[in-house]
Structure 1
Amino acid sequence: MAVAGCLGGEGPDDDEFVITLSQFPDTVDPIDHITGDYFDVFDHVYEPLFDVQPGEEPETRVVEDWEHGDGAVELRLRDDVQFHDGQDLTAEDVAFTLERQIDPEVGPASSQVAGLGSIEGAEAVDDSTVRFEYSGAPALAEYEFGNYARAMSREWTDDQESAESGEIVGNSADVFNGTGPYEVVDFTPDTEIVLEPFDDYWGDEPPFDRLVFNADEESSGRVAALETGESDLTINVLPEDVQTVQDTEDAEVRTVTSFRNIFCPMKNEAEPFDSREFRQAMNYAVDNAGIIDDVLSGFGEPMSQPVPPGVNGYNPDLDPYPYDPDEAASLVEESGYGGAEIELVAPQGRYLNDADVAQTVADQIDQLENVSCDVDVVDFGVVSDANSAGMDDYEIPFFMIGWGVITGDTDYGVSGFFQEGGGVQTFRDEELDQAIEESKGIDDPEEREQQLQAVNELAREKAPWIFLHLQESIYGVRQDVQWEPREDETIWAWEMSQ
């Protein structure tokens, strides 16, 4: 097992592995979130139905096999899967979990609807067979249910739901009940969750006798935990803290360019962002390459479209907007919004040097003679709420946020933001909406990929966002841990060894 505490100082016992996140889950509900840090915790307790590699077909796990029919897919479950409370997993549990994510009438409501745009319904055919109905191509449905299909006990969920709030609440270990390889043995809200192997797990025994998740919002704090042996792996190391990790005995930095796109939405029913020329001007005004070099110490890649390389539908023929302040100023005049005063709202501590990136973006826009731009740095929750508010709330029309295209398909990077009812809509445009909708119904994989490339080209032209960069995932980890970071930012203990 892992040998924590060998990095200097006295750490946990030899069978314990500690992972330090940047955000601790603020909910005990495993599907009431779309935040990567939360998935890292809950996937160990509430296991996915499939093993997924970005951009590839799902692999069987809890589901033994599946078969597509006319606008539907039937999935056959293993017959030896138990919840931690001893109850058997049934198709009704899986159907209920999917219905929670797509139907607000099936409570408690879930915020994961943005990831299941083509899934229209779920029902149990028998105890071990569940049927998902979908509106798009079979491949799109697989991208979606492969990443978002999980199982909660329907009976347990009903018992845990608060009569007052309609949410799942609790502050002790017994509020968790999944089918995963680990079960919760200790839980301190906002601080720490401790997991141990589930004795009746159907699959392989997990690698660590005790798995602990905690969090520190500051990169320096996460790195300090690694230095002292209090943590074995930490995420989101800032560029300025990389050398500290490298100087730590028996620790090292591991990096991968993630699928997380950092960008600035401009809600286009608010002035001056209702002008395509103005939105394009904002892209020309920002020196992406310079920000990556100077603010991110080279950790990142400039973006040219809503999704990154490696994602199905990425268009390799599109170049990032060049830095051209003169063109930006000219387009501002053409837009009729010369003299505009705007404010960029941005988080601090959620993404790599996010506040510094936002300040630089605002400063570069402010250098235009015909636009004034300020920055307001806020808690991430404020930005997240602005993103989730959709097109009806223009209190914050211009903000910076990140989105990981975890399904490996362009649809997940565009549908929620650019389509009606997508869940996080920040841009309303009929032509772009229709182009995305057309892609959903194309069964032929090559034709669908071509249509998705056309969607990305159209999005670049309409400039719904300031396209910034792909975030580099920077981890600090013990050298003896055998583990390679994933592009989708997922951390699974069963992919580790030492």
Structure 2
Amino acid sequence: MARERDGPASRRSFLTAVGATSVVAVAGCLGEEGPGDGEEVVVTQGEFAPNADPNADNATPTYNVLDQVYEPIFDITADGEIEPHVVEDWEFPDDNSVELSVREDVVFHEGQEMTASDVAYTINRQVQEDVGIASPQVDGLAGIQGAEAEDETTVIVEHDVSPSLAEFGLGVFGRVVNEEWMEEREQPVTDEMNGTGPYQVEEFNPGDETAEYTVFEDYWGETPGIERVRFQAIDESSTRVGELQTGESDLIVNVPPTDVETIDTEDGIEIRNVTSFRNIFLVMTNDEAPFDSLEFRQAMNYAVDNQGIIDSILGGFGEPMTQPVPEGIFGYNPDLEPYGHDPEQAEELIEESGYEDEEITLYHPEGRYLNDTEIAETAAEQIDELDNVDCSSEIEPFDSLVEMILDGDPSTSPDFFLIGWGNPTYDSNYGLNPWFVEGQASYNFIDDEIEEMILESQTIEDEDEREEFLQEVNAELREASPWVFLHLQESIYGVRDDLEWEPRSDESIYVDQMGL
């Protein structure tokens, strides 16, 4: 029982809304190849997976590494629709539960049969700390209270949010693990994998940031056309480009705009790009001065020349943001305008805030997002050009930064940092709940009224009413300025030109959907 939205903001029609007609995932391109008929594909990202546990981290590069092995409860298609996967059917018997019917022909790579108990355990180990781990993915499972296996193939999931939120949360974050296998190991699991997916792991080396996979011969679904897969991480963009040019990589992420023309004119490789759902922004944690001042936070938005950064550093690859969620996401407010670049207004607001001559530091990762270092350095320089504030920038390794900001405690986060946030659920809740509701892993902005509005939005069942209410929440957040709103990132990939694959707005990379 798949759920769809009606109206202009429907998930079915979001491609039209963002003008991303090239997002649709390649279907039926795998041919009839079986194991041994295809060849190796090497995918190079800027970041790798810190461990081998599919429920222990919340970052797209991690998912791309582990999603070759671990499978979701539901599929979320490239156009935002839900389709059956290891759960083949589901229904909502009442307002607070969903009944899942589990496939009977799914086996784990070590030979165990997947049962309803494994699916229930997967959900519970994320939302109930006494069952499994303190998973940052709980942000996306808002309102999911727990699950119970009624028999070998039936799972009842309890929730207290609208049915669509429950459904999409399970679809995006329900990567199924084997209960008995997990319980026998220290959690989170660091260097072993036992999934049900189309590929099984041969080598996993987080220290070297490499992973090797081969086709799983007992896979319940269609056999992939690519026999071997290698994922690796190289944070330096020029090195990734070099890997593509020499044929050592078949697909690389985050190609700098300055290299787009070069790659597109070389034989055998090309650029493929799509507007992603990744919002790039500067977080201003408001638990202490100077970012506890609304005027100071708004001043930072006026100080940064966002459009100038898009034009100069990103080569025009990007769209300015006006709110925490991008166009095409359910609840996006189309009536909001970006902050303009106005240094004089910024200086006046700083004077009003009472925090003149503050010294602030902008922390940022290097190599995680498209030209992230240049963006952060430029934003810091523009703020520093104001007469009444000093600003510098400092690199913080991505893993370290994530560890600080995903513990649910604003006091442990840097006061000012650059980060990106994708939205695989196609719903505003995932752009709001993790950041603005106490108890969520990404909680870094304290505002009781906004928090109450977000929680109320989760329980509204009428989709039109909920959409309108979410638009009000996004308007409130634009005014509150919890972030310096920067841009929607363009995903720019360098690709071997005979590789059958198209990029998705959610940045997911599924090798079993590729062909040669």
Q: What's the TM-score, normalizing by structure 1?
A: 0.93
Q: Does structure 1 retain, via aligned residues, the 8 Å contact 2:121–2:147?
A: yes
Q: Work out the CA distance in 1 between the residues paired with 2:248 and 2:218.
A: 30
**Does structure 2 retain, via aligned residues, the 8 Å contact 1:114–1:422?**
yes
Shift of 1:13: 10
1:186-205 deviations in whole A, cap 9, x for unaligned? Answer: 33343322211111111111
Structure 1: which 5+ runs fail to align?
3-11
Q: CA, structure 1 residues 321+252, in 2 after alignment: closer, same or farther (shift >3 Å)?
A: same
The one-letter amino acid of 2:246's match is T
Secondary structure of the corresponding residue to residue 392 of structure 2: strand
Whether the aligned pair in 2 keeps the contact of 1:23 and 1:215 (CA below 8 Å) is yes
Q: Which residue of 2 aligns with 1:5?
A: none
User: Which amino acid is 2:159 matched to?
Assistant: Y
* Mapped partners of 1:124, 1:434: distance in 2: 33
Q: Distance in 2 between matches of 1:438 and 1:302?
A: 28
Gaps (5+ residues) in structure 2? 1-28, 31-35
Corresponding position of 1:44: 68
Partner Cα distance (2:165, 2:510) in 1? 24
1:148-206 deviation per Cα after TM superposition (whole angstroms, max 9, x unaligned): 11210011111222xxxx43233xxxx21111011112333433222111111111111
Report deviation, 1:394.
5.0
- Correspondence for 1:416: 434
Task: Report how far residue 426 of structure 1 moved.
Answer: 0.8
Cα distance in 1 for partners of 2:413, 2:123 equals 32
Task: Determine if contact 2:42/2:251 at 8 Å carries over to the other structure.
Answer: yes
Aligned to 1:9: none
Paired positions, count: 481
Partner of 1:120: 145
- Separation (CA, whole Å) in 1 of partners of 2:84 and 2:360: 49
Quick check: 1:178 aligned with 2:199?
A: no
Could you tell me how far apart the structure 2 residues matched to 1:14 and 1:54 are? 24
Q: Does 1:168 align with 2:189?
A: yes
Secondary structure class of the residue paired with 1:126: coil
2:98 to 59, 70, 73: 73
Q: Equivalents in 1 of 2:320, 2:484: separation in Å?
A: 11
- Rounded to whole Å, the distance in 2 between the matches of 1:376 and 1:286 is 17
In the alignment, what sits opposite 2:47?
A: 23
- 1:14-51: per-residue Cα shift (whole Å, max 9, x none)? 61111112112220112111111111121111111211
CA-to-aligned-CA distance 1:426-465 (integer Å, 9 cap, x gap): 1010110011011101001111111111111010010000
The 3-state SS of whatever aligns with 2:302 is helix
Identity in percent: 50
User: 2:129 aligned with 1:104, yes or no?
Assistant: yes
The letter of the residue matching 1:169 is T
The amino acid that maps onto 1:133 is E
1:346 and 2:364 equivalent?
yes
| Aligned-partner Cα distance in 2 for 1:185–1:370 | 57
Question: Per the alignment, do residues 21 and 61 of structure 1 end up closer, same or farther by CA in structure 2, a change over 3 Å counting?
Answer: same
Distance in 2 (alpha carbons) for counterparts of 1:45 and 1:385 = 24
* Cross-structure match for 1:188: 205
**Distance in 1, Cα, partners of 2:361 & 2:135:** 31
Distance 1:73 1:447, change over 3 A: same
The 8 Å contact of residues 364 and 372 in structure 2, kept in 1 or not, is answered as yes
> Which residue of 2 is the match for residue 222 of structure 1?
240
Match in the other structure for 1:159: 184
Partner letter of residue 74 of structure 1?
Answer: E
- On the 8 A contact 1:278/1:332 being kept in 2, the answer is yes
CA distance in 2, matches of 1:351, 1:108: 28
CA contact (8 A) 2:126 2:133 kept: no
The match for 2:161 among 136, 141, 144 is 136
Q: Give, in whole Å, the separation in 2 of the partners of 1:234 and 1:13.
A: 23
Whole-Å separation in 2 of the counterparts to 1:390 and 1:176: 28
Moved more, 313-322 or 191-200: 191-200
Corresponding residue for residue 217 of structure 2: 199
**Amino acid aligned to 1:80:** D
Structure 1: distance between partners of 2:233 and 2:323: 32
Shift in Å, 1:391: 3.8
* Partner secondary structure for residue 150 of structure 2: strand
Following superposition, the deviation at residue 55 of structure 1 comes to 6.7
After TM superposition, list the pairs within 5 Å mapping 1:354-365 onto structure 2.
354-365=372-383
Counterpart CA distance in 1 for 2:487 and 2:203 is 38
| Residues 269 and 108 of structure 1: CA distance in aligned 2, closer, same or farther (over 3 Å) | closer
Letter in 2 for 1:183: Q
Aligned residue for 1:274? 292
What's the CA shift string for 1:49-95, capped at 9, x where partnerless?
21103673411111111011330101001111111111110111111
* Paired letter, 1:187: F
Pairwise CA RMSD: 1.8
Which range is displaced more, 329-338 or 315-324? 329-338
Match of 1:476 in 2: 494
CA contact (8 A) 1:284 1:327 kept: yes
1:24 is paired with a residue whose SS is coil
Q: Which amino acid aligns with 1:271?
A: A
Contact 1:108–1:168 (Cα < 8 Å) also in 2? no
Which stretch of structure 1 is more off in the superposition, 20-29 or 250-259?
A: 20-29
Report the counterpart of residue 295 of structure 1 in structure 2.
Answer: 313
* C-alpha distance in structure 2 between counterparts of 1:194 and 1:414, whole Å: 36
Paired with 2:314 and 2:347, the residues of 1 have a C-alpha distance of 26
Instruction: Report the Cα offset of residue 317 of structure 1.
Output: 0.5
Displacement of 1:333: 1.3
